[in-house]
């Protein structure tokens, strides 16, 4: 069933098509797609109390529909171990972002659980003028940015398609556990790809989706960053 969403209506009423990371993760979570615990703090005090509730270490990130590359602009702070570090990171993010994006709408700063390092993979959805929604899968970081090591399938993506998408990237041996590294759960990645395909298929108002990165572990996979763009109108 399609998402009946306050989040999408709010974006529409504000005349924007880009959802923030917090909004995007909320929609994905409603759809049953695993995302790292993420809450929106409106001020420093809230950020501190949220991080205490969540348990350290935490991550703080700028949350704005207008800022696409959060770390490039000093908007991401990882591995914050106590309340003082959270307070400092909060101020540093604001003072780094404000001069760079004087006009950006800042909804607040997200407080996230710091996920243990996993193998970074990405899943994306975009719309091809001819084929409609298309799902992309690849390894995160330089593997996708430099080597363009990705695979594509047209929605709806079946379990079998998903399996092929995972196996046909050149970096596949990394997912199997390279040189004693822990492997990534192929069943979890398969399920994630199929869920993203269903999400796209049943919510045609979504124009673009990026889960970048997802951390893959030996028994599960979880998105730590997400971005959704809605169709206009």
Residues that bind Mg ion (CB under 5 A): 212, 225
- 48 or 144: whose CB is closer to Mg ion? 144
* Binding partner of 143, given Mg ion, ligand ADP, none, CB within 5-8 angstroms per partner class: none
Within 10 angstroms of residue 138's Cβ, the number of other Cβ atoms is 25
- 120 or 191: whose CB is closer to Mg ion? 120
Within 10 angstroms of residue 228's Cβ, the number of other Cβ atoms is 28
Shortest separation between residue 70's beta carbon and ligand ADP, angstroms: 3
- 76 or 209: whose CB is closer to ligand ADP? 76
Q: Which residue has the tokens 């979890």?
A: 188
Shortest separation between residue 103's beta carbon and ligand ADP, angstroms: 18
Q: Determine the interface stretch with ligand ADP among 108-116, 145-153, 160-168, 187-195 (rule: CB under 6 A).
A: 108-116
- 11 or 80: whose CB is closer to ligand ADP? 80
Q: Contacts with ligand ADP in 46-105 (CB under 6 A)?
A: 59, 61, 69-71, 76, 78
* Binding partner of 64, given Mg ion, ligand ADP, none, CB within 5-8 angstroms per partner class: none
Q: Is 35 in the site for ligand ADP (CB under 6 A)?
A: no
Of 225, 228, 229, 230, the one binding ligand ADP (CB under 6 A) is: 225
Q: Contacts with ligand ADP in 173-192 (CB under 6 A)?
A: none
- 141 or 183: whose CB is closer to Mg ion? 141
What SS3 string covers the chain?
A: CCCCCHHHHHHHHCCCCECCHHHHHHHHHHCCCCECCEEEECCHHHHHHHHHHHCCCEEEEEECCCCCCCCCCCCEEEEECCHHHHHHHHHHHHHHHHHHCCCCCCCEEEEEECCCCCEEEEEEEEEECCCEEEEEEEECCHHHHCCCCEEEEECCCCHHHHHHHHHHCCCHHHHCCCCCCCCCCHHHHHHHHHHHHHHHHHCCCEEEEEEEEEEECCCCEEECCEEEEECCC
Q: Which residues bind ligand ADP (CB under 6 A)?
A: 36, 59, 61, 69-71, 76, 78, 112, 114-115, 213, 224-225
């Amino acid at each position: 069933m399609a998402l009946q969403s306050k989040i999408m209506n709010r974006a529409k009423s504000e005349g924007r098509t880009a959802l923030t990371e917090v909004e995007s993760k909320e929609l994905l979570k409603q759809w049953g797609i695993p995302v790292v615990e993420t809450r929106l703090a409106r001020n420093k005090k809230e950020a501190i109390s949220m991080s205490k509730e969540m348990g350290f270490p935490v991550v703080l990130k700028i949350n704005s529909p207008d800022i696409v590359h959060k770390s490039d602009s000093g908007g991401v702070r990882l591995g914050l171990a106590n309340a003082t570090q959270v307070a400092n990171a909060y101020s540093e993010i604001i003072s780094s972002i404000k001069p760079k994006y004087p006009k950006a709408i800042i909804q607040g700063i997200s407080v996230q659980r710091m996920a243990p390092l996993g193998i970074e993979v990405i899943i994306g959805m975009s719309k091809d003028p001819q084929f409609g929604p298309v799902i992309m899968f690849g390894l995160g970081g330089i593997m996708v940015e430099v080597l363009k090591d990705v695979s594509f399938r047209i929605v709806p993506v079946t379990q079998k398609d998903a399996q092929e998408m995972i196996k046909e990237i050149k970096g596949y041996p990394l997912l199997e556990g390279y040189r004693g590294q822990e492997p990534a759960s192929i069943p979890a990645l398969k399920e994630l790809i199929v869920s993203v395909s269903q999400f796209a298929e049943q919510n045609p108002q979504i124009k673009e989706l990026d889960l970048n990165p997802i951390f893959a572990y030996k028994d599960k996979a979880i998105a730590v960053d997400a971005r959704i763009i809605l169709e206009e109108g």
